[in-house]
Chains A and B, each alone.
Chain A
Amino acid sequence: GESVGLHLPTLSVQEGDNSIINCAYSNSASDYFIWYKQESGKGPQFIIDIRSNMDKRQGQRVTVLLNKTVKHLSLQIAATQPGDSAVYFCAAQANQAGTALIFGKGTTLSVSS
């Protein structure tokens, strides 16, 4: 079955640095990807999404890059702030397989000031 995995379970950065969280997926039919942020005791919060017909999408302080050739996506957070500390999940969806999101295990981002 499809799997989605993160390269690093934890990432520690200094306030003001840029953060990069990487994710790999296995199903080449995956055509929609979402990054979620989950703070302790809360549900996953939508950050940004990207469709397979794009290779880059930017939001406020965040950028998602998609490389379909190597089945890899990344989330870049600019000028990381202490409030960005959370667990970050990437999720993939293969429309042919339905609407279920397949989630990676999560990367815990710790931002120190």
Chain B
Amino acid sequence: DSGVTQTPKHLITATGQRVTLRCSPRSGDLSVYWYQQSLDQGLQFLIQYYNGEERAKGNILERFSAQQFPDLHSELNLSSLELGDSALYFCASSVEGLGEETQYFGPGTRLLVL
């Protein structure tokens, strides 16, 4: 158990809908990362937050947004969902969100868009 928690574990929804994925980092970690894992693209970095502020952005679609709250939990919002958004979404956390820090991953949310 990495100490990172994610809810829900599974999510089934329809195209055009909006969903929110939630992540709580390990105790003491200030930085949260979101990754998407699909069969064809592998694990891809989406976005990083540090202590409530966006720190880095990766291949995140404009339909997707995230935020980190004062209690350090984070939410990833996915809107106008398409079939191709079906994937595993992982949250990871690290202490400072700087380079050369281990990122610890949560168990993921499996999203299925029908």
Interface residue ranges, A against B (CB under 8 Å): 31-32, 34, 36, 42-46, 49, 51, 89, 91, 93, 95, 98-106
Per the bound structure, the CA–CA distance linking A101 and B107 in Å amounts to 17
Contact B56 A100 (CB under 8 A): yes
Total count of chain B residues near the partner, CB < 8 A? 28
Per the bound structure, the CA–CA distance linking A98 and B99 in Å amounts to 7
The segment from B11-19, B40-48, B79-87 found at the interface with A is: B40-48
Contact A93 B105 (CB under 8 A): no
B25, CB-defined interface residue at 8 Å: no
Contact B42 A106 (CB under 8 A): yes
What is the chain B residue whose CB lies nearest that of A42?
B107
Contact B99 A31 (CB under 8 A): yes
Interface residue ranges, B against A (CB under 8 Å): 2, 4, 6, 31, 33, 35, 42-45, 48, 55-56, 58, 90, 94, 97-108
Give the residues in chain A near B97, CB-CB below 8 Å.
99
Contact A43 B108 (CB under 8 A): yes
- A82 CB, min distance to chain B CBs, angstroms: 21
Per the bound structure, the CA–CA distance linking A99 and B44 in Å amounts to 13
Per the bound structure, the CA–CA distance linking A89 and B4 in Å amounts to 19
What is the chain A residue whose CB lies nearest that of B6?
A43
Contact A102 B45 (CB under 8 A): yes
**A-B contacts, 17 listed (Cβ < 8 Å):** A34-B103, A43-B2, A43-B108, A44-B43, A45-B2, A46-B102, A91-B43, A98-B56, A99-B31, A99-B48, A99-B56, A99-B94, A99-B97, A99-B98, A100-B56, A100-B58, A101-B103
- B41 CB, min distance to chain A CBs, angstroms: 9
